[in-house]
Amino acid sequence: MTRTVRDIPTKSSYSASPGYMGLVGAHESMRSVFELIKRVGPAHTAVLVTGESGTGKELVARALHDLSRRKSRAFVPVHCGAIPEDLLESELFGHVKGAFTGALAQRTGRFQLANGGSIFLDEIGEMSPRFQVKLLRVLEDGSFEPVGSTATLHTDVRVIAATHRNLRAMAREGDFREDLLYRLDVVEIALPALRDRREDIPIIAESFLARLHESRGLPHCTLSEETRRILMAYDWPGNVRELRNVLERAAVLAAVPGVLTPDDLPSSLGGGKAAVARPVVSAIAAESGRPWDFGPEGADFYGELESFERRMINRALQLAGGSKREAARLLQVNRTTLLEKLKRRGWELRGGSLEPHLPVTPSAWAGLRPGPVGMAPGGEMVEQRRTAYAAGGR
């Protein structure tokens, strides 16, 4: 038997993550959501689920249905924003044969299919004011007419609606009927954005990875500490849906079996090459976390640039164990570019640090040392460093 999301218990054979009815989280805001679902689920009350796209609004709707006396009957989801307005009436209420061009057979509408069960109207805020009037009637007495028919049908459904928009603000602007809002918003369940409950991100990630292992046959993966840090630092505009997609991609492409590393993450999250280079940049940033001393005569711009370049290459070579190929990869430059730069600068790795192996003027070499740099009379030192820096190339 195929398992659906609503069949997943809170603590399954593959996930001991804290949660409720397929929703995962331990944050206080989610615990409040779980409590509200428990209290509202068994009632016949209409519920409005609000939250950004990707926060799990349909999971909440399914949980409400599964907790009600209607759980043995149909749960019918309808994405109102994905259906053109001229087809929405037929989709919800059905039509008779010949009702319009292309109506070659009678069609049963979603409200009739959901009779005795629940209907989930997702993105209700996308519905036009003209159609809102027709929906209001169904909510008031359960009656409707299929398109092209004069016969009035009746349905007994629980309506659960969802939106990422502010319906109260829309009602004030006249874009959403207030009477319909009052019918839908008997109880509101507001889902928090993922960025507002960052401590749940590793919990959700581990749960998703376990599900992918069992349902898709992918290798079971865990998160490295750096991967965990990157995931928690990202703002997730697509919320849980985006996190799930990122993790599935990473699990499929994982370079190290069983462990998701920053290399497996998209560069938009700070993974990939950006993550590889991070140890180099962060080490240099920590080393260079001092304010520049401009002094009365200013600072040596070219000397500081050359000093930073030397330290960055030095750190990359240290991390690469002296391998110039690996150091070039960390610096995201071609190996030949790095070799040419080392040759022109006259640098080689000795005893764990770059040292000159070609004659370099004392004034030019002074520019490679971190720290405040003075000015020679007449600007001679700066000119030497500018010339040396230009000769080294970028």
- The domain boundary, picked from 235, 252, 276, lies at 276
Domain residue limits at 305: 286-392
Query: Over the chain, what is the mean pLDDT?
Result: 81
Give yes or no: residues 52 and 121 share one domain. Answer: yes
Q: pLDDT tens-digit profile of 136-175?
A: 999 999 999 999 999 999 999 999 999 999 999 999 999 9
Torsion of CA 380, 390, 340, 303, to 10 degrees: 50
Give yes or no: residues 321 and 361 share one domain. Answer: yes
Q: Tell me the CA distances in angstroms from 232 to 198, 203, 285, one per residue in order.
A: 6, 11, 22
SS3 of residue 316 by DSSP = helix
What confidence score (pLDDT) does residue 390 get?
52
Contact 227, 261 (CB under 8 A): yes
Sign of CA dihedral 24, 30, 35, 36: negative
Between 365 and 262, residue with greater pLDDT: 262
Among 388, 283, 285, smallest CA distance to 345 is for 388
| Confidence band of 296 (pLDDT split at 50, 70, 90) | low
Give yes or no: residues 136 and 42 share one domain. Answer: yes
pLDDT at 73 over 70: yes
Q: pLDDT over 70 for what percent of the chain?
A: 76
Mean pLDDT for the stretch of residues 356-367: 46
SS3 of residue 381 by DSSP = helix
Give yes or no: residues 37 and 61 share one domain. Answer: yes
For the record, the structure tokens of 84 come out as: 């053109």
Give yes or no: residues 217 and 181 share one domain. Answer: no
Q: pLDDT tens-digit profile of 12-64?
A: 333 456 889 889 999 999 999 999 999 999 999 999 999 999 999 999 999 99
The number of folded domains in the chain is 3
What confidence score (pLDDT) does residue 366 get?
45
Give yes or no: residues 184 and 199 share one domain. Answer: no
Give yes or no: residues 171 and 224 share one domain. Answer: no
Give yes or no: residues 56 and 173 share one domain. Answer: yes
Give yes or no: residues 183 and 247 share one domain. Answer: no
Give yes or no: residues 250 and 293 share one domain. Answer: no
Contact 382, 303 (CB under 8 A): yes
Q: pLDDT tens-digit profile of 233-273?
A: 999 999 999 999 999 999 988 887 888 988 888 888 865 55
pLDDT at 359 over 70: no
Give yes or no: residues 351 and 214 share one domain. Answer: no
- The domain boundary, picked from 232, 248, 276, lies at 276
Tell me, what CATH number does 69's domain have? Answer: 3.40.50.300
Sign of CA dihedral 356, 362, 363, 369: positive
pLDDT at 184 over 50: yes
Give yes or no: residues 185 and 200 share one domain. Answer: no
Q: Is residue 358 part of a domain?
A: yes
What confidence score (pLDDT) does residue 367 get?
43
Q: Is residue 4 part of a domain?
A: no
> What is the pTM assigned to this prediction?
0.66
Q: pLDDT tens-digit profile of 198-210?
A: 999 999 999 999 9
- Which residues are 23's β-sheet partners? 20
- The domain boundary, picked from 191, 214, 235, lies at 191
Tell me, what CATH number does 272's domain have? Answer: 1.10.8.60
